[in-house]
C-alpha cells in the first residue's frame, strides 16, 4: 500500500498520534537542545545563544573539582551496593513467595510487602528518623531499655550508609517481586511435574527450573539497572541526608542540583548531567552487547 493510501485509510490513526508526539518532542527532546550549554560559558546577561562557545573547557573544569571525584565515587559506590542488595532481594523474595501454596496467605504477604513502595521518600525519611533516630528513635529506645548502647544509625557516616542501603531494600523489595512473579506464573507446570517424577526436591526445582525460566526477566532488569549506576535517586538521598553525615551524600544528582539550581552555574551543572547521561546510555548499550554475546536476548 502506498503512503498516501495508508494516510487516507488510517488518517485517524496518525491524528491520534499527533498529541503524544508533540508532547514527547516538547518535553523530552526539546530540552536536549539545552545540552549545548555544557559547551558554552553561559552568562544570563548574554542569553542562551549569545554566550560564548568554550569547547570542552567546562568538562575540564568539573573533572578537576574535588567535589566531582567525591560525587563520582559515592554515586558509583551507592548504586553498585544497591544493585547487590536491592536487585537481588526481590528475586529471592519472589522465589520464596512462589513456594507458598495458600493463595490467601500469599496475597496477604504481598499486600504488606508492597506497602513501602507507596510511601514517598519524604515519608520514608520521616519514618526512618522516628525509628532509627539516636535520641528518640523506637529501635534505639528498645536497645536502650534492654541495656544496650544507642546506635547512631543515621548520624554517623558508615552507619548512615548501611541504613541507607537497608531502607532502599525495604522500600523496593516487595514491589520488585511483581515482574518476577509474573514471569514465574508463565512457566509450564509440566516441567515441575516431570522434575518431581525424576525425584527433584524443592531446591532442585528452584535451581533447575524456576531460576532459568526467569533468567530473561532478571537480565532485562539488570541491564536497565546498570544504566542507572550513574544516576541514583536524588529524592532518596535528599530525604535521608543530614548535617552529621556528609561523607556519602554528595552524589552526582545532588551536585547537579547544588551547582545548577542552588548556585545558578548552568553550564557546569549541564555538563555534569550530560556526563552522567552518556555514561548511563553507554552502560545500557554495553550490558546489552555483553548479554547478547553470552547468548541472551538483550533488550534491543
Q: Residue 219 CB, nearest distance to other proteins (Å)?
A: 12
Other beta carbons within 10 Å of 238: 16
User: For other proteins, which residue of 91, 226, 274, 291 counts as binding (CB under 8 A)?
Assistant: 274
| Alpha carbon distance 228, 23 (integer Å) | 24
Residues 230-269 that bind other proteins (CB under 8 A): 234-235, 238-239, 253, 256-257, 260-261, 266, 269
- Grid coordinates representing 246? 556528609
Q: Does 162 bind other proteins (CB under 8 A)?
A: no
- Tell me how many residues contact other proteins (CB under 8 A): 97
Closest CA to 273 of 254, 292, 288: 254
Output 173 or 291, the one with its CB closest to other proteins.
173
Q: Does 174 bind other proteins (CB under 8 A)?
A: yes
Q: Does 111 bind other proteins (CB under 8 A)?
A: yes
What is the pattern of x (binds other proteins, CB under 8 A) and - over residues 203-232? xx--xx-------xx---------x-----
Residues 7-66 that bind other proteins (CB under 8 A): 9-10, 12-14, 16-17, 19-21, 23-24, 27-35, 37, 48
| Alpha carbon distance 99, 192 (integer Å) | 12
User: For other proteins, which residue of 116, 152, 168, 176 counts as binding (CB under 8 A)?
Assistant: 116
Assess contact for 149 and 159: CB atoms under 8 A.
no
Residue 134 has phi, psi (to 5 degrees) of -75, -40
Give the DSSP H/E element, type plus range, for residue 253: helix 252-257
Q: Around 68, how many Cα atoms within 13 Å sit in the side-chain half-sphere?
A: 15
Amino acid at each position: 500500500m502506498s503512503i498516501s493510501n495508508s494516510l487516507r485509510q488510517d488518517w485517524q490513526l496518525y491524528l491520534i498520534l499527533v498529541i503524544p508526539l508533540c508532547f514527547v518532542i516538547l518535553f523530552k527532546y526539546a530540552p536536549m537542545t539545552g545540552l549545548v550549554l555544557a559547551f558554552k560559558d553561559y552568562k544570563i546577561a548574554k542569553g542562551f545563544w549569545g554566550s560564548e562557545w568554550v569547547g570542552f573547557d567546562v568538562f575540564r573544569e568539573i573533572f578537576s573539582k574535588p567535589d566531582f571525584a567525591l560525587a563520582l565515587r559515592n554515586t558509583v559506590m551507592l548504586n553498585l551496593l544497591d544493585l547487590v542488595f536491592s536487585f537481588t532481594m526481590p528475586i529471592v523474595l519472589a522465589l520464596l513467595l512462589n513456594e507458598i501454596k495458600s493463595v490467601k496467605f500469599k496475597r496477604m504477604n504481598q499486600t504488606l510487602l508492597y506497602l513501602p513502595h507507596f510511601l514517598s521518600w519524604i515519608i520514608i525519611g520521616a519514618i526512618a528518623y522516628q525509628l532509627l533516630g539516636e535520641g528518640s528513635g523506637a529501635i534505639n529506645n528498645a536497645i536502650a531499655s534492654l541495656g544496650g548502647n544507642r546506635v547512631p544509625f543515621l548520624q554517623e557516616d558508615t552507619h548512615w550508609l548501611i541504613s541507607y542501603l537497608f531502607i532502599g531494600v525495604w522500600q523496593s523489595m516487595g514491589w520488585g517481586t511483581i515482574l518476577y512473579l509474573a514471569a514465574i506464573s508463565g512457566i509450564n507446570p509440566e516441567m515441575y511435574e516431570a522434575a518431581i517424577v525424576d525425584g527433584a526436591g524443592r531446591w532442585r526445582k528452584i535451581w533447575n527450573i524456576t531460576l532459568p525460566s526467569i533468567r530473561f526477566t532478571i537480565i532485562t532488569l539488570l541491564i536497565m539497572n546498570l544504566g542507572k549506576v550513574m544516576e541514583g535517586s536524588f529524592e532518596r538521598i535528599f530525604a535521608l541526608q543530614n548535617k552529621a553525615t556528609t561523607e556519602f551524600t554528595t552524589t552526582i544528582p545532588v551536585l547537579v542540583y547544588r551547582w545548577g539550581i542552588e548556585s545558578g552555574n548552568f553550564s557546569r551543572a549541564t555538563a555534569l548531567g550530560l556526563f552522567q547521561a552518556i555514561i548511563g546510555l553507554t552502560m545500557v548499550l554495553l550490558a546489552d552487547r555483553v548479554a547478547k554475546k553470552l547468548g541472551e536476548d538483550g533488550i534491543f
